[in-house]
Amino acid sequence: QQQVRQSPQSLTVWEGETAILNCSYEDSTFDYFPWYHQFPGESPALLIAIRPVSNKKEDGRFTIFFNKREKKFSLHIADSQPGDSATYFCAAANTGNYKYVFGAGTRLKVIA
Amino acid sequence: EAAVTQSPRNKVTVTGGNVTLSCRQTNSHNYMYWYRQDTGHGLRLIHYSYGAGNLQIGDVPDGYKATRTTQEDFFLLLELASPSQTSLYFCASSDVPNAETLYFGSGTRLTVL
């Protein structure tokens, strides 16, 4: 069963637009929510992460919005650039056992 | 930057074959993980470990064994490989609870004919 659901499967935006990637989870014990990105032929790498004590985390053009009540979180990429084209994975972990569970990924394409 | 080294980079075997994938990290991280990556499924956790001699079951463990022989080394064993195990395998390590970043190796592409 997919413990972390991610949508859309693929997303195409124009350069300068905001890309929005969504995730939801079921397990209430999850308390750490990172996003990883993976460029073609490379390994996943941490992009940004949030803990439920906050409902928003910003790092430059990347922002996580977190809704604990609805068990949803999203990644907003502002002013999208062609270099942002990659696969993005949301994840969730329980910091009691550090078991990281990933979503199925969103393949983002930014068109110039 | 943490270094996680996987070997081999590519492996081809036949159905029923015996395969061992290796992972070494030299950053004294406690936790190590094995994931498989398949289109449409993302990264799925096979096994993980929080130290030498420890093994925790992941979400897709069937057909896989793992062993953490030292702090540095984590092995994934496929004793009777099947075509359904054809995949890209990633090892990762993390210095939790000090830092929660997963550092991934370069991956091993396994093909089971």
Q: How close, in Å, is residue B57 to chain A by CA atoms?
A: 10
Q: How close, in Å, is residue B66 to chain A by CA atoms?
A: 16
Tell me the CATH number at A20: 2.60.40.10
A59 at B interface, C-beta within 8 A? no
B45:A100 CB<8 A: yes
Answer for the pair B30, B96: CB distance below 8 angstroms, yes or no. Answer: yes
Query: What torsion do the CA atoms of A43, B70, B82, B38 make, to the nearest 10 degrees?
Result: -20
Q: Could you give the CA distance from residue B71 to residue B8 in angstroms, rounded to a whole number?
A: 20
- Residue A95: the pLDDT is 87
User: For B53-79, how does the pLDDT look when each residue is reduced to its tens digit (9 = 90+)?
Assistant: 999 999 999 999 999 999 999 999 999
Closest C-alpha among B1, B2, B5 to residue B91:
B5
Answer for the pair B103, B94: CB distance below 8 angstroms, yes or no. Answer: yes
User: For B83-107, how does the pLDDT look when each residue is reduced to its tens digit (9 = 90+)?
Assistant: 999 999 999 999 887 778 999 999 9
User: For A25-69, how does the pLDDT look when each residue is reduced to its tens digit (9 = 90+)?
Assistant: 999 999 999 999 999 999 999 999 999 899 999 999 999 999 999
The amino acid at B33: Y
| A46 → chain B, closest CA residue | B101
Split into its structural domains, chain A has a count of 1
Domain boundaries, chain B: 4-112
CATH number of B4-112: 2.60.40.10
Q: How far is CA B10 from CA A53, A66, B19, B21, B53, in A?
A: 42, 39, 12, 10, 27
Structural domain of A24? 4-111
Looking at the DSSP bridge assignments, the partners of residue B57 are B47
Q: Could you give the CA distance from residue B20 to residue B66 in angstroms, rounded to a whole number?
A: 9
